[in-house]
Structures are given as structure tokens and as C-alpha cells.
Amino acid sequence: MEQVITIGRHVKGYHYIIANLGFVDGDLSKIQYGGANVSGFQIVDFDDPVVAKFDQRWEALEEKEYPGADTRIRYTSALTYDAVHVMTEAFRFLHKQRIDMSRRGNSGDCLANPAVPWAQGVEIERALKQVRVDGLTGNIQFDQYGKRVNYSVTVMELKNNGPVKIGYWNEVDKMVVTKSDLYPNDTMGMENKTVIVTTILEAPYVMLKKNAEQFQDNDRYEGYCVDLAAEIAKHCGIRYQLRIVGDGKYGARDAETKIWNGMVGELVYGKADIAVAPLTITLVREEVIDFSKPFMSLGISIMIKKPQKSKPGVFSFLDPLAYEIWMCIVFAYIGVSVVLFLVSRFSPYEWTLEEPEDGALPLTTESTNEFGIFNSLWFSLGAFMRQGCDISPRSLSGRIVGGVWWFFTLIIISSYTANLAAFLTVERMVSPIESAEDLAKQTEIAYGTLDSGSTKEFFRRSKIALFDKMWQYMKSAEPSVFVKKTSEGVLRVRKSKGKYAYLLESTMNEYIEQRKPCDTMKVGGNLDSKGYGIATPKGSTLRNAVNLAVLKLNEQGLLDKLKNKWWYDKGECGSGGGESKEKTSALSLSNVAGVFYILVGGLGLAMMVALVEFCYKSRAEAKKMKMKFTDAMRSKARLSITGSTSENGRVPVAYLRPGLPMSLSMTDLS
């Protein structure tokens, strides 16, 4: 240890294990305040009653007659004492067994070849193995091979106030750490020391102010973690100095050199006292540093470039129902009309006998059925459009057809109406990626993580098939999909035109989504659940004080207040309220243009059908009346316009009832 002090390697960042069983025997005062982590072992437990009783007897002896009686017994002396004690107990056992230990008649020959053992040696060995006593070095007993077993060694560590017991080791439990002894719940001596707080430039956690050159020290920075560090320092009563990590990394261990980098490395190697940053709590980090309770919960999420909003189509009002449903509705409409026509033809209750009115001539008497094929189509269409019809089925079979068709249209129209508002008032964005499964099953869109971070470590260590598949892709992708900084990953997403997805913590994803140019978005749920914690070196006196401060801030609601301040209150993209909400709630002409097209098209079709009917009927009348086609058209046109086919406004008898004898008078017809 003298050599260590001479070369200056006794400062913070160095670790030593004293490889003997008497940690408190040496003078550790010179290295005690250097800052190095010094550990060792102690086989003599001075709190043990056997040792305490021996100390009283030892210190009561005269120092002149017994040199060293004024000091604690060293571990080598304790082992010697126990060795004599074991021999005493062994020979006492042999004496009780009345075994002759004299060497008369068996002096032995040391030069004999082969060697001749001492006859009583076997008995002595057997007696030694059976000894079981409590000595100065604890329980003493041996196995069948003469090896000491069932003993315990205290594990010690050098603190500012001297050697401290931090645990023990034995063959059964192995290493057992006593946490309560390892981490004292105080910050004694910290009030006169400036605590070094390592952090990382990462918006919105830590950012340089716009006019940072006009400020000094901590006043140059702003952000969530800057405010959090100030609150924690206030609760712990300490002075602190913010220091940006040199390599700009969070902290990961190199697979070859086993050396930690980033903020974790600064804590491990004693360059900083505390880390206040978006540092994820992970198992590998917890093995070398300590974390407080999480001050923020989060998970790994997917960031992609925000897709362009899809423009509403001319027939966007058809979107609430799939095209398959529309086709099925058309076929159902035709099928119901045909079935209604058939059951009406076969059911006698749908046939009615037409009789002449009172006073009219009994010209003809015939049975009629209102539900011809066209009337059946018209009835089905009227029911589907919820408008009704001037005819209705009379037979039970026809009413059953009508009833089930009404029920069908009730459900379809209600479902359509419920979805129509959402489809027409919200401009939907079609995203090619909706989840991690979508990413894993395609190769067109590359995806990656931050290098030297917990997200990359999550995929590397994951045993889940999906995440392992994603890791295999990421580590073999060319060019590399890993980035050195989060800002680099975000820039890559923005410039990739939708061909790169970035995997990062959900909190950072949500923050960037609120920053201009507002062209990124979070898709899918979180891939895992974890938290950010404040880190301290192993054994730091700040650990418990920081932990209590975080819990208190959480109970006071200050952590949520800080997040709202830096995420949403300072957001630049809006939250979907105000003007944007009014803009999306009003329908534009493009949303319903298709309805107008159908209306105009239907009106045009009706006029064309009317013209065809006009020509067809005129041709038929011309043949019956044996007149020219043009005259028939002229006569029908006059009827359509004036309501009369003759120039004097009267309707000829033959025209009114074609097929009647021309000899009938108007009186007979009336």
C-alpha cells in the first residue's frame, strides 16, 4: 500500500483487494481518505463473544512480559492460538481413549525406504479430524481429508470513517452483502463539497440556452433534468456542478475490453458523483452502479416519418363499408327482389280480381298481381332507402321477405351512419408501419437504435423471437442502422423519405413529435416497460438521500409538472385542439362530391330512360293507329306539354282506349 500511495494510485477510480485474512491489522489511515475503493477479508470477528473474552484477558497482561498485549490480536496470532487449541483438544481426546502416545520401542527410521510411519500418527490424525471447537477465527472443524470446513470470513471495505463490515462469505451462502451496513442513510460531509453531476446534452432534458455564453456554470443549461437536479440538490442540501459527459454516450460496456463508457463509466471510475439524465435502469448497469426509484416511466417505441394525409376521394362516402359489403348489398337487393317476386306469384293472396266500377261497362275482368319484377325491385329499393313504398305484401310469405329485409337494412344503415361521420370528418393518414411485427416482416424500411444505449442492449439480450429477429437484421445491416446520437437518428428519419424507422424511448419520441417541422410520429405501443433513474456509484452516501428526494418529488406532483412544462407547454405542433379541430370537423365539397355526381347521373339517366320510353311508346302507337311515327311523337309531345293530344284540347276516344270499338259514343265511355 505504501507503493500505491507513492505513485498516486490511491485516488478515486482505483479498486484494490487486500489478499489476506486480516483487513484491520494493517495501517490504512494513509489511503483511507484518498478515494480509492479498498476491500478485503477479516477472519477474526471482534464482535464474537469468544474473541471479546480473549481480548479482555489479553489486554490485562503485562506488556513487558507479553509484548503486544496492548493491541488487538492479529489474524496470524489468532490462527496460531487456534492451532494450539485444536492440538490440545485432540490429545485430550486421545488421553480419554487411553491411547499410549509414547514412542518407546518405535523410534522410527527417517531414512528408511519406504518410510515407516509412526504407529500413533494414525490415531492423532483421526483425533484431529474429530475436533470441533469455537476458536478466535470462528468455528473450527475438519472433513475426512483434513480440510477446514463450515467457517465464515467477514468482507470488509474501507470508508472515510474506517473499515466497515459489508457482508460475509462462507461455503454454503457464498458472498452475502449486508446492504444496511454498506449504504449509510446520510450525506454527512457533503455540505462542504461540490458534487459533480454528469449529464448529457439531450433535448428536452439538458439543453444549452440560446445565450449560454452570457452565463456561467449551471446557469448555461436548461431542461427537465436541469430543473430536476436543482430540486434534488435542494432536498439533499448539497452544492453541485453540472458537467456534460465527454464522449456524449449514456453508458455501455465494451465486449472486448470490458471498459464502461459514457455517464456510467464516469460513475464507475470515480469521475462523477451522480448522474442526472435520461439514463435507463437496466440489469447490467445496476451491477456496477446504483439507481434511485424511477423518476419517469417509459418504453421503447417506433419513430417514423409522418405520412402525408390522404386526400378524400370523390366516393369517400363509400369508405365506411368495405367494397365486399357493398357488393354483397347489391346482390342481396337483387336476390330479395327476385324472391319477393316469386313468392308473390305463387301465393294466391297476392292476386286480386279487378272488377269494373259502378256504372262502367263490363269490358274486361282479370286477376292482377301488384308485385311484378319491377314493383318488387322498387319495393326493395324503397325499404333499403328507408323511404317506404305505396304497395306492400299481402301474403304471409311476402311479409316475411319484407320483414327480414327491413331488419337487414336497419342494421346496415345504422352501421353505415355510425361510421360515416368519423370517415368524413377525420383526414386519415395511411402508415406503412403500425407495430414491431410490421417492421420485422419487411426489409424495405430500415430500422435501428442508438449505439451504446439501453435500447440496443435490450434487443441484443432479448430472447423473444420477434426482437431477436430484429436484432439479427440490425447488426448485419449495411450501411449500419445504428446512430451515435439521438439527433442523428431523428435527422435520418426525416431525410429518409419514409425508408428508415428509429427505435428510441417513448418519452423522447413524444417530445420530438411536438417539435417543428412536426414531420415525425410515434406508431404502435411500447415494446417494453422501464424507467429513468438517477445513478450514483456503488456505496455512495448520496444514494438514499437522492432516492428519498425522488419519492418526495413524485408525491408532490412536481415530476408530472416538469414533464408537462418541457413536453407540452413548450410544444410547437399543437395538440389537435382549437383551429385544427374546427378545420377537421367541417366537411368539404370533396368529401361528398360523389353524392352530387350520383344525383346528377341519376337525373340524367332518368331523362334518357324517359326519352327511350317516349320513342318506344310513340312507335307502338303509330303501328296501332296506322299513323306516321312523327305524327305519333308530335301527338304524345302535345299530350306531355298541354295534357291534350288534339289542337282543341279534347282527347280522342280511340287514343284514350285503344282497342275499343270506334262506334262507342262518349256517353257510353263515361
Looking at the fold, whether 284 and 411 belong to one and the same domain comes out as: no
pLDDT for 661 beyond 50: no
| DSSP per position, 41-84 | EE---TTSHHHHHHHHHHHTS-TTTSTTTTSPPPHHHHHHHHHH
d(CA 669, CA 357): 12
Same domain assignment for residues 257 and 292 = yes
Q: Residue 473 carries which side chain, given as an amino acid letter?
A: Y
- 577 domain residue, yes or no: no
**Are residue 220 and residue 341 in the same domain, yes or no?**
no
Q: Report whether 455 belongs to an annotated binding site.
A: yes
Whether the per-residue pLDDT at 34 is higher than 50: the answer is yes
Instruction: Let me know whether 288 and 142 are in one domain.
Output: no
Which is nearest to 540 in space by CA: 197, 261, 235, 41? 197
pLDDT at 317: 74
Length of the chain: 670
Q: Which residue bears the cell 368519423?
A: 422
List of residues 6+ apart from 550 with CB closer than 8 A = 232, 292, 293, 295, 534, 559
Q: Are residues 27 and 172 in the same domain?
A: yes
Q: Point out the domain boundary residue: 407, 425, 443.
A: 425
Enumerate the β-bridge partners of residue 532.
280, 296
CATH code for position 77: 3.40.50
Asked if residue 554 has pLDDT above 90, the reply is yes
Identify whether residues 155 and 224 lie together within a single domain: no
Q: Look at residue 243 and tell me if it is in a domain.
A: yes
For 89-93, 368-372, 420-424, which range has the lowest pLDDT when averaged over its residues?
Answer: 420-424
CB atoms closer than 10 angstroms to residue 532: 25
pLDDT score recorded for residue 200: 94
Mean pLDDT of the 344-348 span: 72
**CA–CA dist 383, 391 (Å, integer):** 11
Long-range contact pairs involving 244-247 (C-beta distance under 8 Å, separation at least 24):
244/198, 244/199, 244/200, 244/201, 244/206, 245/198, 245/199, 245/200
Q: In terms of domains, do 168 and 227 share one?
A: no
Q: Is 75 exposed, middle or buried (0-12, 13-18, 19+ CB in 10 A)?
A: buried
Residue 146 and residue 212 in one domain: no
Q: What are the residues whose beta carbons fall under 8 Å from the beta carbon of 24, sequence distance 6 or more?
A: 42, 72, 156, 163
pLDDT at 393 over 90: no
> What CATH number is attached to the domain comprising 350?
1.10.287.70
Per-residue pLDDT at 13: 67
CA angle 612-625-368, nearest 5°?
Answer: 65
What confidence tens digit (pLDDT) does each residue in 106-154 have? 555 667 777 766 767 788 888 888 889 898 988 999 998 889 999 999 9
> 608 lies in a domain?
yes
CA angle 159/165/170 to nearest 5° reads 140
Per-range mean pLDDT, top range of 95-109, 154-168, 426-440: 154-168
Q: Are residues 68 and 159 part of one domain?
A: yes
Asked which of 410, 425, 440 is the last residue of a domain, the reply is 425
> Is residue 635 annotated as involved in ligand binding?
no
Residues 295 and 215 in one domain: yes
Structure-block grid coordinates of residue 504: 428510441
Which structural domain range is residue 612 located in? 591-636
Q: What's the rounded Cα separation, in Å, for the pair 582 and 577? A: 8
Number of folded domains that form the chain: 4
278 is in an annotated binding site: yes
Same domain flag for 169 and 22? yes
Give the whole-angstrom CA distance, residue 505 versus residue 294: 14
For the segment 69-107, what is each residue's pLDDT rounded down to a tens digit? 778 888 998 899 999 999 998 888 888 877 776 655 555
Alpha helices in 556-628 (DSSP H): 558-563, 579-585, 589-625
Q: Domain check: are 134 and 12 in the same one?
A: yes
Tell me how many degrees the CA angle 485-491-497 measures, rounded to the nearest 5: 140
Known binding residue 454? Answer is: yes
Res. 41 pLDDT band, cuts 50 70 90: very high
**Higher-scoring residue by pLDDT: 189, 664:** 189
Number of Cβ within a 10 Å radius of residue 257: 8
Task: Give the alpha-carbon dihedral of 79, 84, 87, 93, to 10 degrees.
Answer: -110
